Amino acid sequence: MKQANFGTPILSVLVAVAISVALVLLGETWVPKLGSRASRVIISLAGVGMMVVQTHAVVLWVLGTPPSGSAIALILALVVPWTVALIVVRTPLAPWLVGTASKRKRLASVEP
């Protein structure tokens, strides 16, 4: 993105839309077959995904990762933000940092 190389103008958007539709259809088909526990894990990870998108670059910056990167940097750039986001979603800071209500509040409102 630094070089502003976004691909062929119309074709790139169409391919991105097609990939997104395919992933949604795959998810609707396969996630229910994985069972309720796997579904809850996937929903939890997806629920904090925006924080991962917004903070993974910080991990790469701290590591001083060059554009080519490494497998360790890739793993850390995913695991560290997701771990932090899963912790933050259980605090009062969740609406500001994750973009959803605190999981603690949602759990308390469900209990009788």
Number of domains in the chain: 2
Q: Is residue 75 part of a domain?
A: yes
pTM: 0.68
Residue 111 has pLDDT above 60, yes or no: no
Cα distance between residue 54 and residue 99, in whole Å: 11
Domain membership flag for residue 40: no
Domain that holds residue 54: 48-110
29 shares its domain with 57: no
Cα 92 to its chain centre, rounded Å, is 20
Q: Is 42 inside any structural domain?
A: no
The answer to whether residues 67 and 93 belong to one domain is: yes
pLDDT tens digits along 16-66: 999 999 999 998 898 888 888 988 888 888 889 889 999 998 998 888 877
